[in-house]
Chain A
Amino acid sequence: MSKFWRIAYHEYSRHVFRRRFLLALFSVPLVMVFMVVLIIVIIRMDSNPTPIGYIDHSGLLANSIPQPAAKWPERTVPMRAYTDETSAKADLQAGKLQVYYIIPEDYLQSGQAVQIYLKEPKGIATQQFDAFLTANLLANQPAEIANRLLDGSNLIVQSTDKSREASQDRFINILLPLLAGILFIVGMSTSSGYLMQAVVEEKENRTMEIMVTSVSPGQLMSGKVIADIAIGVTQLLVWAIFIILALVIGKNYIPFLSGLKFSGEMVGVIIAVMVPAFIMISGLMAAVGATVSEGSEGQQIMGLFTIPIWLPYILIAVFIQHPNSPLAIALSFFPLTAPMTIALRIGFTTIPTWQVIVSVIILVLSAIGAVWLVGRAFRLGMLRYGQRLHWKEIFSHQRV
């Protein structure tokens, strides 16, 4: 095994197999699972299976058919017919009914019914009665009309060239690039944070001289970069598996997620923007690590980089309204804000190709610049124990 891989393996294993990392790694999906379980429990508790009674004076429910079965985790509420109100009332008081309805003779004309309860029923129960009533009212209609009416409307907005569309059902597709962007940046922050720490640590432990007299600075840095990217990817992968599982499972129960569709173009643009952004930010963080003498000092400087990275997220409302405004375009061309801006805009508009190309070129150049910077900062700052390297020294003519 080459020295490069030994460094990478050492760096990776000593972070990933640590209790602190594993705890952070699994805490996010565990919190997600806990939230989902909590929601299911709340829905189960809210969907009371106690029957609903009705007294039908209109005759519409004479040969009633049951409402469509409720989707899990909701429970289907049985509907019970009464001929007179006295027995319905007695059952309500005895707790055998949660609510009962009186359907008047002129229901078809008035659309009014009377609801009687002791304790106001939950929306889930009344929705089931509505569904029961609708199903029975449409019972005599041809199946296609009945289904059409039951399905309701779905408004689809299409771009003039028909290349893009948005609808209520597919709202998730707008959020998808946003989510991907956030995930990517979280992973990137993890990796670059570890990278900065890894460089500072060599200084704090005074191991830098031993390292650079055992391996080349190139091997040392690339080993660490690969390891720390792998740490970020490990984190993303574990989270992504949980998220995909959640989406796949959730798709069956949550209509909001059912329109989920990945667009190849969108994925391509996000990757083209994020990869150089990843290298650029990792390079900057490593350079910070090489210039400072202690980890805490590095964390503060890191904060300065983090603000512009997240800035577009704060301006999300502006992007939704004006995804092609000069501000949005300008932020797409500024290296630190570009990754998040592109991820946000792509959900709400078709970004002109030239803008994507310019943004990617700027990011690639910035990434090259960051790699150059870290190389120089590293050679100049690696043996500065307890003393900061000033940025102007990096740009000086000093030979390294």
Chain B
Amino acid sequence: MSTVEISHISKSFGSLKAVDDVSFEVEKGEIFGLLGPNGAGKTTAIRVLLDIFKPDHGIVSILGGPMTESKKDRIGYMPEERGMYQDIQLDRCLVYLGSLKGLAPAEVQRRITGYLQRFDLVSSRHKKVKELSKGMQQKAQLITTLIHEPELVIIDEPFSGLDPINTQMVKDLLRQQRDKGVTILMSTHQMHQVEELCDRIVLIDHGRTVLYGRLDEIRRQFSGHAVIVRTPDQLPALPGVEHVEQHNSSTYRLNLMPSASTQDVLRNLVERGIQVDQFEIAAPTLDEIFIRVVQKDDQEQGER
């Protein structure tokens, strides 16, 4: 059974349709990417999922059924709008928010020490939250998301405001959580992070699902009939190749005729004694797919 099942949900605010018939499932123990341009409806979808907003239509199932009060203790949520009580000390804030996840304050106190060490926040534990830098507050927020060892983590833009070292640390942390069996739903714009971390994604735009499935399948679906070849040799004319684009001094993109197969192209290269350093199917990056899909969707929306 999936950890999260969203089935045909819609939510409007006045005349604005923020989410329109969106469906997806998040499997247990995976890192799932919820993608979309600004204003696509990602945050609204997350809020509906967490029962902050009631959907106008559709069904949400989380951890095996509708949201309940007791399930809140099994979910860790880091919203896009980072929120901490600015006017109190960091450790007091963490203990309070942790205790609202069903832990005894003494237990929270014991757990935060480890996290503060890991996140390099020990020296700031008695400082007021407002005295911490944005990055530090972001890390503190992550502690509140994970301290109660949730089964499901929903995290909106986990890397915003983090330097490369902390970004790497958060990535390691998310992988670690996944390895422990935690399900992670991550919403972000940073496509290369999604490519590194996520197994499956859903891309929504204008409130609607425009892409959904396994990341490798989606990339295959979007790959054109082309190969990337890296070689120090000069490329001769090859049968089945329609057009050659040179990317740099040694890398070429070979656009193939519809009838040609990639296997034939490789065989031809080898037979001609060309040194092949790299030969791969030209799959687009997630960034390219994202731009292509969103632009197409924008055009369609414009035509309507």
Assuming the contacts A14-B88, A213-B50, asked whether A206 and B100 have C-beta atoms less than 8 A apart, the reply is no
Query: Which residues from B are CB-within-8-Å of A7?
Result: 100
Assuming the contacts A6-B99, A10-B96, A399-B54, asked whether A213 and B72 have C-beta atoms less than 8 A apart, the reply is yes
Bound complex: CA A288 to CA B211 (Å)? 42
A210 at the interface (CB under 8 A from B): yes
Bound complex: CA A206 to CA B79 (Å)? 9
Bound complex: CA A256 to CA B50 (Å)? 64
Contact in complex: A206, B81 (CB < 8 Å): yes
Contact in complex: B72, A215 (CB < 8 Å): yes
Contact in complex: A213, B75 (CB < 8 Å): yes
B83-104 near A? 1/0 per residue, CB < 8 Å = 1111010000000110111100
SS class of chain B's interface: helix, strand, loop or mixed?
Answer: loop
A238 at the interface (CB under 8 A from B): no
Bound complex: CA A383 to CA B79 (Å)? 11
Bound complex: CA A214 to CA B71 (Å)? 9
Given B77, B82, B102, which contacts A213 in the complex, CB threshold below 8 Å? B77
B47 at the interface (CB under 8 A from A): yes
Bound complex: CA A210 to CA B100 (Å)? 10
Contact in complex: B83, A208 (CB < 8 Å): yes
| Number of chain A residues close to chain B: CB under 8 A | 22
Contact in complex: A211, B100 (CB < 8 Å): yes
Assuming the contacts A214-B72, A383-B47, asked whether A207 and B100 have C-beta atoms less than 8 A apart, the reply is no
Bound complex: CA A209 to CA B83 (Å)? 8
Bound complex: CA A6 to CA B102 (Å)? 10
Query: Which residues from B are CB-within-8-Å of A210?
Result: 77, 79, 83, 97, 144
Chain B nearest CB: distance from A344 CB in Å?
39
Q: Using CB atoms, name the residue of chain A closest to B101.
A: A214
Contact in complex: B56, A6 (CB < 8 Å): no
Chain B nearest CB: distance from A21 CB in Å?
13
Query: Which of B54, B81, B82 counts the most chain A CB atoms within 10 A?
Result: B81
Contact in complex: A209, B81 (CB < 8 Å): yes
A212 at the interface (CB under 8 A from B): yes
A313 at the interface (CB under 8 A from B): no
B237 at the interface (CB under 8 A from A): no
Could you name 11 residue pairs across A and B whose Cβ atoms are closer than 8 Å? A7-B100, A10-B96, A205-B83, A205-B85, A205-B86, A206-B83, A207-B84, A207-B85, A213-B52, A213-B72, A214-B97
Please give 12 more A-B residue pairs, beta carbons under 8 A apart, in addition to A6-B99, A209-B77, A215-B72: A6-B96, A7-B100, A10-B96, A205-B83, A205-B86, A206-B83, A207-B84, A208-B83, A212-B52, A214-B73, A215-B69, A215-B100
3 pairs of A and B residues whose beta carbons are closest in the complex: A206-B83, A207-B83, A214-B100
> Chain A residues in contact with chain B, CB under 8 A?
3, 6-7, 10, 14, 201, 205-216, 383, 385, 399-400
